[in-house]
Structure 1
Amino acid sequence: MDMNEAARSDWWESLPAGIRDEIDGYVLKGSLLMAVKIITDIGRVPHGIGVGTAQLIANDRCRHYGDRVAREPESPLDLESLVCRAAGCAGRIVAIEAIWDGDTVHDWFVRLLAITADPAEEVPMATVYWSAAQRYVSEQGDPDPRHPVAVAAERAGRALAEHLSVPFHFAAPDTPDDEAPRWRP
């Protein structure tokens, strides 16, 4: 069932205050998947509300609260911050790798990892989301037609790898692919 904004607002106002408070609680702490789940659970049978409409309702609530909605802090992408984070790795860094990931909240994003030996681990350096990527790429001033997340991750990851004198690996810099081949020594 598709609902326009007015119908979604009317449906929202028809809910008991306790349910509205619960959903808004999840929205305010940035747990949109839980808000969508509750909306779907209570709206599917009596009102035909599916996941798509539930996402629109949760988004309406996000717009209602604006800046009051908790957001994940963005990872710094500047070289100084990445070097500081890399210095905290327990093992010897042998490569910096960029890998695609995605979810229903952020769409596609890239995780920058330090690959270490002794112990062998993948240590998160940064998670590059769309908003941070757009800012980072615009600050660099060099246009690139590729996905801004890939451009930002590649530039920041390559700079860190060069600083550490280790290889940089990004198997799919042109197209989101969370199954691209991983770095191998």
Structure 2
Amino acid sequence: MTSIASTIRTAINGTTASKFRVGDDEYDITVRLDSAQRENIRLIEDIYLSGKDGAKVPLTSVANVTFSGGIGAINRKDLKRVVTVSANAEGRLGNEVLADVTAKLKNYNLPSGYVISYTGEQEDQQESTDFLSKAFLVSLLLVFFFLVVEFNSIVSPIILMFTVLLSLIGVLLGLLLTDTPFGIIMTGIGVISLGGIVVRNAIIIARLSG
């Protein structure tokens, strides 16, 4: 069966026999049937296959040639069949495009066993969001721990950490006033950095006022 499929594939799709160069450009030399022969099912039936003993056997002696639909390729991800739909949306943010696509597909009824998932930029952004969320939480806990050790108290660190919440409100307000898109990665990194600066300034003020 492999030999039969290989012979037919070579006859119709062709196979690269060699290459030739013209200056700096390299071109494949593809061997296959003429276009008129590839489009004529009767001529395809006349293809001869090579047997183990070298004898030539016509294709019609081992198969019936008919037209039918079929899958050209099966793509899988995590051992599951997938069909990928992609597009370029120049001049638009990924979040905006995703919102439009989600709204269009909201009432689309999928057959049983099928699901829609968003990959590419959205998948990368989701991974970055999860990482930054964990990093922000860990950084807050570490800062709070060191503040407790520094002040030997729990009340003072809680008051100082409250300034981080105020800084977050300021960040969101600034984004709204300037009509700046909320970028998960850049904004998240900025918020984490800002939190450290705010806590440092709060410690200095607390020391001076204390």
Q: TM-score range by the shorter chain?
A: under 0.3
Higher strand share: 1
Taking structure 1 as the reference length, the TM-score comes to 0.26
Q: Relative contact order (C-alpha < 8 Å, sep 6+): which is higher? A: 1
- Normalised to the residue count of structure 2, the TM-score between the two structures is 0.24
Question: For the pair shown, which has the larger CA radius of gyration, 1 or 2?
Answer: 2
